[in-house]
Amino acid sequence: MSTAIDAAQIRRRTQELLAAHPPATTGRTDFLQARFDAGLAWVHYPVGLGGLDASRSLQPVVDAELAAAGAPDNDPRRIGIGLGMAAPTILGYGTEEQKQRFLRPLWVGEEVWCQLFSEPGAGSDLAALGTRAVRDEGGDWVVDGQKVWTSSAHVARWAILIARTDPDVPKHQGISYFICDMTDPGVEVRPLRQITGEAEFNEVFLTGVRIPDSRRLGPVGDGWKVAQTTLMNERVSIGGARIPREGGMIGTVARTWREQPALRTHDLHQRLLTLWVEAEVARLTGERLRQQLVAGQPGPEGSGMKLAFARLNQEISGLEVELLGDEGLLYSDWTMRRPEIVDFTGRDAGYRYLRSKGNSIEGGTSEVLLNIVAERVLGLPVEPRNDKDVAWKDLAR
Amino acid sequence: MTAQTEAAQAPDLLYSEAEEDLRSAVRSLLAGRADAPAVIAGIESDTPYDLRLWESLAAGIGAAGLLVPEKLGGQGATHREAAVVLEELGRSVAPAPYLTSAVVATEILLALGAGDGPVAGLLAELAAGRKVAVLALPFSTPPADGAAAMTGTLERTVTGVAEAEAADVLLVPTADGLYAVETGGDGVAVQALVPLDLTRPLATVTLSGAAGTLLADAGPAAAAVSKGLLAGAGLLASEQLGLAEWCLTETVRHTRERHQFNRPVGSFQSLKHRMAQLWLEVVSARAAARNAADALATGSPDAPLAVAVAQAYCSRVAVNAAEECVQLHGGIGMTWEHPAHLYLKRAKADSIAYGTAGRHRETVAGLVELPAP
Ligand SMILES: Cc1cc2nc3c(=O)[nH]c(=O)nc-3n(C[C@H](O)[C@H](O)[C@H](O)COP(=O)(O)OP(=O)(O)OC[C@H]3O[C@@H](n4cnc5c(N)ncnc54)[C@H](O)[C@@H]3O)c2cc1C
């Protein structure tokens, strides 16, 4: 499947795109649409859906050529949930019509996506969710319930949504997966202020929201399986980015260390070096994982990357606040805002320290990820469970 | 700034098919000749080395000559392949003077770069597995101290020399240069010590009126000794990786089988999380160790940093894996009969060999310009 096109051909196609749509004289959206149509958006996607059925390893060739030519990108920080979670799920389970309708504006960034999964009563135990989707006479769905911690809901046009379609079977079986229109009058989004002072996430109330059956992803009752695709991709997309040496948070601390000798202490030096080494090893581990993917030998390492990413971000930003001393006592701005992007590293050390606390919670907590590694990678026995064979409606809550 | 410049070519962190074939050959040899009871019986005898095992590994499989070009009698392979051999040796903790002779001593001789003469002669002997040579420095010497080791004369006592008992030839750094000294010759005494790690014997070497062949003057010898120690430290990371992997695998196996409270102890979450954490460390250690082996193999300018990072990281992982292995085995892990202690002792000794993690972090500090206060 990924043998047809090589780096030289990809480079030539990229040059053709640049020639036909010079970035200097082409509007941003026009350029991105043309890039999508040329199959250079995500080259490993199918032809006609922004890709060329090429090897994933060729994407950096395109990105480098376009960056060198000063072409605009699709600002992935604004559309992370769409790119990292909605798109692979639509690609995997969507109908031809759904793929044609949704993938292009998603990738271009014309339509922002959010993820309506977590609920007040269903976090780590996501399969316990209680938002109901009931079929009406016309075959469409009516959704009622509450979602929570929904990042970017205030800027989203669409949402991936999981809801209970059958309460009479065990919890994993009665779930279906939908694409929800965030402009529906039944959707109400309220900000939830975070420890950073701002509200990146929201609570979302769904009241009589109508979803046509054509916006269901995958079979009725199979939503849990479809959601696994989303969650796997989420974990890889958090902490899976390719970075250069000193690319992540460690770079910021290292710069401060070099520029401000007065801040240095022996204790901080030892801790900084330990973290520098660990950050470099985490970077190499990610690099090795990508090489395995490209070589067609995907390893289970992916499940571990987010664990390492979360711990390192937390320890490094904690060290940074301490290193800054007097400055570490200050915070840039507590004003309640509703940012358009999800930002892990922006602003000051205090922000990084606080925001990184979420890294071990969002997309599956570190405790839950350790369970997954222990059971699925190491094959250790599962905890005794009492919820497998009980109908959802009879579960304790 | 060094820290920001990426090595031009990304390192190859995977294993090739040929490397996997080599691994299988070494693994089946070790499984057949050096299982845990055999290793334990060996360390209780006069000499822990199994000469037939060494012969099969060094000459039969050709592992001793991996770093040596074919025209000098070797296999013409690289540090990447030698690292795979060390992973397997770490997994079995079988006593074999591979790291000391086939890596460190061999790398030193290669760095001296002679096409013929005594250096080439000795290299050919080492590559063929006919002789064993070790560097007459304490096993704890980090690469950064290689140049400073060029002091003194052939009249000296060096303590803590790894695998000197197995050696036919000692490479002795002096102020004049590097000498080759036959251990069987007059004026050479090799006195065994009682090592923490019984699978890697240590000795005190005393030279008094011994005859030596000068292999190189102090200048080139200093660079060669540093290079040898760098290769030793870098590939030690692969030994540590193999060791840690064995500890994790055995611990998972044991805790799945061992029942308490009417369930496998491996179903208790606190244990599962500890093993999952260890898995993540092993996965990370593999990336660090492969990176060091690849950097050494390609002669990358990044090699000193790659080695320091690998040592600073993998030492701790190996010790942690061995310590968790003992704890999660419970009482059986505390016995002489169970092999866990062999791994604990090897891991702890390895964490000092060729420099502690702290020494390697100091090297990192220098290389990436993060100076101490
Ligand atoms: C910044 C941020 C952004 C988010 N964005 C989104 C979003 O866009 N969309 C969305 O749907 N969700 C989002 N989430 C929600 C996130 O996925 C959940 O918070 C997470 O899954 C944990 O669920 P919970 O908050 O209910 O905690 P709980 O599940 O109640 O967990 C509480 C504690 O118990 C531990 N615990 C729970 N079960 C186990 C177990 N089996 N073994 C061991 N320990 C356990 C947890 O690790 C945690 O420490 C976001 C969260 C954050 C912090």
How far away is chain B from the Cα of A294, in angstroms, using its nearest Cα? 11
User: Are A155 and A33 in the same domain?
Assistant: no
Contact B283, B312 (CB under 8 A): no
The CATH number that applies at residue A168 is 2.40.110.10
Is A325 in the B-facing interface, judged by CB distances under 8 Å? no
State the average pLDDT over residues B363-371: 98
User: Are A88 and A67 in the same domain?
Assistant: no
pLDDT at site A397: 79
pLDDT band at residue A293 under the 50/70/90 scheme: confident
| Residues forming a β-bridge with A192 | A201
Q: Which amino acid is at A161?
A: L
User: Are A205 and A249 in the same domain?
Assistant: no
User: Are A254 and A350 in the same domain?
Assistant: yes
Closest to A107 in 3D by CA, of A128, A135, A87: A87
Is A374 within the bounds of a domain?
no
Q: Which amino acid is at A158?
A: W
Residue whose entry in the numeric block shows the structure tokens 């190499």: A284
Is A149 within the bounds of a domain?
yes
Is A1 within the bounds of a domain?
no
State pTM to two decimals.
0.94
Residue whose entry in the numeric block shows the structure tokens 């250079």: A40
pLDDT at site B10: 84
Residues 126-185 of A with CB under 8 A from B: none
pLDDT tens, position by position, B68-114: 999 999 999 999 999 999 999 999 999 999 999 999 999 999 999 87
Ligand 1 center to residue B224 CA distance, Å? 55
User: Are A205 and A164 in the same domain?
Assistant: yes
Helix (H, G, I), strand (E, B) or coil at A283: helix
State the complex-level ipTM: 0.94
Is A377 within the bounds of a domain?
no
Contact A200, A339 (CB under 8 A): yes
Ligand 1 atom nearest A358 alpha carbon: 53
The CATH number that applies at residue A275 is 1.20.140
Contact A220, A75 (CB under 8 A): no
User: Are A86 and A184 in the same domain?
Assistant: yes
User: Are A61 and A85 in the same domain?
Assistant: no
- pLDDT at A236 > cutoff 90: no
pLDDT tens, position by position, A374-394: 999 999 999 888 888 899 999
pLDDT at site B5: 36
Among chain A residues, the shortest Cα distance to B13 is held by A288
User: Are A85 and A205 in the same domain?
Assistant: yes
* Residue ending a domain, choose from A73, A102, A119: A73
Q: How far apart are CA B87 and CA B90, in angstroms?
A: 5
Ligand 1 center to residue A366 CA distance, Å? 9
pLDDT at site B1: 33
Is A154 within the bounds of a domain?
yes
Note the Cα B167 to chain centre separation in Å. Answer: 16
User: Are A39 and A123 in the same domain?
Assistant: no
pLDDT tens, position by position, B277-299: 999 999 999 999 999 999 999 99
User: Are A200 and A321 in the same domain?
Assistant: no
* Total domains, chain A: 3
pLDDT band at residue B8 under the 50/70/90 scheme: very low
pLDDT tens, position by position, B158-173: 999 999 999 999 999 9
| Portion of chain A with pLDDT greater than 70, in percent | 97
pLDDT at site A302: 75
Range of the domain at A41: 7-73
pLDDT tens, position by position, B235-272: 999 999 999 999 999 999 999 999 999 999 999 999 99
pLDDT at site A240: 63
A104-142 exposure pattern, b = at least 16 Cβ within 10 A, e = fewer:
bbbbbbebbbbbbbbbeebbeebbbbbbbbeeeeeeebb
pLDDT at site B9: 67
pLDDT at site A239: 61
Is B307 in the A-facing interface, judged by CB distances under 8 Å? no
pLDDT band at residue A103 under the 50/70/90 scheme: very high
Is A395 within the bounds of a domain?
no
pLDDT at site A342: 80
pLDDT tens, position by position, A335-377: 999 998 887 777 899 999 999 999 999 989 999 999 999 999 9
Is B363 in the A-facing interface, judged by CB distances under 8 Å? no
Helix (H, G, I), strand (E, B) or coil at B228: helix
Is A323 within the bounds of a domain?
yes
* Residue ending a domain, choose from A189, A219, A249: A219
Which domains are seen in chain B, by residue range? Answer: 221-367 (1.20.140.10)
User: Are A300 and A188 in the same domain?
Assistant: no
User: How high is the mean pLDDT of chain B?
Assistant: 95
The first and second tokens of residue A203, run together, are 């609570």
pLDDT at site A2: 43
| Portion of chain A with pLDDT greater than 90, in percent | 83
Is A382 within the bounds of a domain?
no
User: Are A207 and A249 in the same domain?
Assistant: no
Closest to A246 in 3D by CA, of A289, A288, A275: A275
